[in-house]
Amino acid sequence: MLEYFREKWQSLVFRLLFYFLLSILALAIVLAISFTQRLRPHVQQQILPNVERYLDYLISDIGNPPDFTIAQRLADELPFEIRIEGQGNNWSSSKAIEPILNYRLEAAPAPYADVFYGHKRRQDILLIERDGLRYLFVAEDGFRRGAERRHWLLFAGLGAILLLLYIGIRRLFRPIGIMSEQVRRIGEGDLQQSITVETRGELGLLAAGINRMSRDIESMLESKSGLLLAISHELRSPLTRMRVNLELLEDDEIRQQLIDDTREMEALISAILESEKLSSGHAPLSLHKAELAGLVDEVLANHPQHDRIQTHLQPVSLAVDGLRFKLLLKNLLDNALQYSSDSNAPIEITLSADAQAVILEVIDQGIGIPAAEISRLKEAFYRPDSARRRNTGGYGLGLYLCQLIVDAHGGTLSIESEPGKGTRVIVSLPIDNS
């Protein structure tokens, strides 16, 4: 129940209704206190004197010693029962009337100290003492019953008002829910749909502002993507010409260094293009059922350091984009080898599956990564150790691209590492990723 109210409390409509109900209750309490304060002097000044005088008339008719025949006739004619106690008398006009000691009564204010009143089981009770006798008058509280009925009608009316108010507020704030959903979609990258709000007030202006913001964001993202793709494509032509010209150089050492640099630049451009396509949704996956162990073997067969890599592969078939899966594994292997370049320990690849997912793990025993930097490793162009990365190559796009490939397949990528002990990268791909 507490969790339900915590969840409901997040709703603006629920909070408005709660505050409205709280205001009604506070107003009812103030009115009740005010009514009681005004009623008390009226009771003391007008009602009690008349009640005492009326009871004295009845007691006079009954007489002293009391005539129980007259008392019974009065009880039959009037809307109350009578009980008389004292001076050896213990008489009641009805068996339903209990002894006086069973009733909790309080004294009326001065100067009516000989009058006591109380209430029990929908009955109003008055006790008056005269000449050693105590007279108890018990009346059915018809006024209170009517008041209870009126209270129930009041509560039913209040409930109906709250229901209508709830419907009205829900209708009034419905555009906010639509806008909230649109903002969530914008955050997820869906900028195509616009908000349609049938209002011209502040909410309509807010909806129009969100629509403009969505279009502006989409335009900026398209401009950024177009610029990045154009630059990357244009860089490939001069790089190709550079490699051709480098082949004509006579100094083998310088030529090889320059060729390696151009290859690195080409690899960077390819990574930028691929990551941009995956992140912007311009390159849909080409999913085909494939034997993953065979794809791993293909990557290792062309890898220059395949002799340092150990595999533990379970035969697993899954619908994947074969080219991107091999790119994923190649980047993970390159990272593992770079972070363990000073170690002769082998790199391990394990492939397994359960009922829900296929698990690919790449494990090295290299330098490891500090815990504070693990969360940022999958950011584009982030390098945890700039000096080491310059020496070993790379621009911080490997794991970023891996994350995009895994996301495109609907999977997850996690990293476990400890400085001095190595790193484990775990890729989980769902069995049903179609």
CATH code of the domain in which 384 resides: 3.30.565.10
Range of the domain at 401: 285-430
Q: What is the pLDDT of residue 208?
A: 80
d(CA 255, CA 225) in angstroms, rounded, equals 34
- Assess if residue 300 is contained within a domain: yes
- Mean pLDDT value across the chain: 77
d(CA 383, CA 388) in angstroms, rounded, equals 9
Q: What is the pLDDT of residue 387?
A: 37
What are the C-alpha distances in Å from 271 to residues 106, 141, 203, 397? 91, 88, 44, 7
pLDDT at 350 over 90: yes
> Which is it for strands 357-364 and 317-320: parallel, antiparallel or unpaired?
unpaired
* pTM value surpassing 0.85: no
d(CA 103, CA 119) in angstroms, rounded, equals 8
9 against 87, higher pLDDT? 87
- Assess if residue 121 is contained within a domain: yes
Of 290, 355, 350, 351, nearest to 318 (Cα)? 290
How many DSSP H helices and E strands does the chain contain? Answer: 12, 13
79 against 252, higher pLDDT? 79
d(CA 244, CA 258) in angstroms, rounded, equals 11
- Assess if residue 50 is contained within a domain: yes
Region at 60 (left for phi over 0; alpha for psi -120 to 50; beta for the rest) = alpha
- Assess if residue 366 is contained within a domain: yes
- Assess if residue 340 is contained within a domain: yes
Q: How many alpha carbons lie under 13 Å from residue 45 in its C-beta half-sphere? A: 5
Q: What is the pLDDT of residue 130?
A: 85
Residues pairing with 196 in the sheet: none
398 against 70, higher pLDDT? 70
Q: What is the pLDDT of residue 392?
A: 47
Q: How many domains does the chain have?
A: 2
- Assess if residue 77 is contained within a domain: yes
The angle, 0 to 180 degrees and rounded to 10, between the axes of the packed helices 48-62 and 68-77 is 130
- Assess if residue 346 is contained within a domain: yes
pLDDT at 286 over 60: yes
What's the token pair of residue 48? 């009690």
Residue at which a domain ends, from 112, 140, 168: 140
Residue at which a domain ends, from 140, 167, 195: 140
For the ranges 52-56, 67-71, 234-238, the lowest mean pLDDT is seen at: 234-238
CB 366 within 8 A of CB 342: yes
Residue at which a domain ends, from 140, 165, 181: 140
CB 274 within 8 A of CB 326: no
Q: What is the pLDDT of residue 232?
A: 64
- Assess if residue 253 is contained within a domain: no
